[in-house]
Amino acid sequence: MKEKILILGASSFAGYSFSQYLLKKKNFKVYGTYASNRNKKILSYKKKDKLKLFKIDLKKHPEKLIKLVNQIKPQYIIDFASVCMVNESWINPKYYFDTNFNSKIDLITKINSMNFLKKYIYIGTPEIFGSSEKQIDEYSKSFSPSTPYAISKLNTEFLLDNYNNNKNPKSIIVRFSNFYGRHQPLYRLIPKVIYSIKSNTKFPLHGSGLSRRDFIYDEDFNNGIYKVVKRGKVRKKYHFCTNKYYYIKDVIKLICKEFNYDFQKLVTKVADRKGKDLNYYLSCKKTSKELKWKPRYDLKSGLKKTIKFYVDNHLSFNKKNTEYENR
């Protein structure tokens, strides 16, 4: 009999990507939650009946999620559900705390007593560590969140750690570097650069473009999460990254090179965002050793596949939701 996986936030970029990955595996019954009808990909899923979906606004109705979990009785819950526009978190911090932390309290305080559940896998963020000049391993406690978004995510991790010290722990925390690939919203760095080139419009380069990030392609990330489902141990923390770091401006130049487009013609400098972290340096050495995981794609090969996807699919070249935010 197939085991069941419930994906919270199945309409998010990461949640949608992992849902597709699981459906290709065909060895799980896959369920998902989404909050609104805005995501057309999710609505197309419903029509094709490939993924059993439930519309639940976790912030407004957390009790409905508990009811759904007890109804489905999944062996695994993967929690991608969060809001993550860093700039917006300064404008409306209460919304971010209500969505990313308060909406999860009911579930987190009950998962240890759910005998059918094997693992609750929480998708965190490296932003809880703030800017760093050295690599941060899976069990570092060098927390220095610099935005309301990061604080809301860290609070959830603290609560999970507390309940993991109780009887029947179920939780695992996963953090990953900048995740990119197919179906990413156009306001993120890589698709926004592609959009700007194809539409011959200026790309707003925040600050100097000298922030450094590690970039992980969607197939590598999905393979990592799958290994956590199959091999990951409760109470553990896992990092997924490539251990290769790039200045934001150099990532843009790589994309320009693929299109033979002039970097100086493309960019226009704008003020940096409030509380922006300069560097995120994750280490995934312990994760790689324990799960026998390593990335297959470097940035150049991942970019080629990403660019091909957007160009082949006409990038969904509409001008909605293209306000750029570099994380």
- pLDDT tens sequence across 118-137: 999 999 999 999 988 889 99
By DSSP bridging, strand 237-240 and strand 267-270 are unpaired
Q: What is the pLDDT of residue 45?
A: 54
Helix, strand, coil % in the chain, rounded to nearest 5: 45, 20, 40
Residue 154: count other Cβ atoms within 10 Å of its Cβ: 20
CA dist 152 and 101 (Å) reads 6
CATH number among 3.90.25.10, 3.40.640.10, 1.10.3430.10, 3.40.50.720, domain 183-214+244-280+297-316? 3.90.25.10
Between residues 295 and 84, which one has the greater pLDDT? Answer: 295
Q: What is the pLDDT of residue 109?
A: 94
- pLDDT tens sequence across 266-315: 999 888 766 666 788 899 999 999 999 999 999 999 999 999 999 988 65
Whether 86 and 130 have beta carbons less than 8 Å apart is answered as no
Between residues 67 and 36, which one has the greater pLDDT? Answer: 67
Architecture of domain 3-178+215-240 in this structure:
3-Layer(aba) Sandwich (3.40)
Q: What is the pLDDT of residue 41?
A: 57
Whether 241 and 215 have beta carbons less than 8 Å apart is answered as no
With 70 as the cut, is the pLDDT of residue 326 above it? no
How many angstroms separate the Cα of 9 from the Cα of each of 12, 180, 246, 264, 308? 6, 17, 29, 38, 26
CA dist 59 and 95 (Å) reads 9
- Angle between the N-to-C axes of helices 248-259 and 189-198, in degrees from 0 to 180, rounded to the nearest 10: 40
Q: Half-sphere exposure of residue 312, counting CA atoms within 13 Å on the CB side? A: 8
With 50 as the cut, is the pLDDT of residue 325 above it? no
By DSSP bridging, strand 267-270 and strand 245-247 are unpaired
Confidence of residue 187 (pLDDT cuts 50, 70, 90): confident
- Degrees (nearest 5) of the Cα angle 299, 304, 305? 100
For the chain, the domains span 3-178+215-240, 183-214+244-280+297-316
Mean pLDDT of the region 195-223: 92
Least confident of 78-87, 107-116, 169-178, 250-259: 78-87
DSSP assignment, residue 296?
S
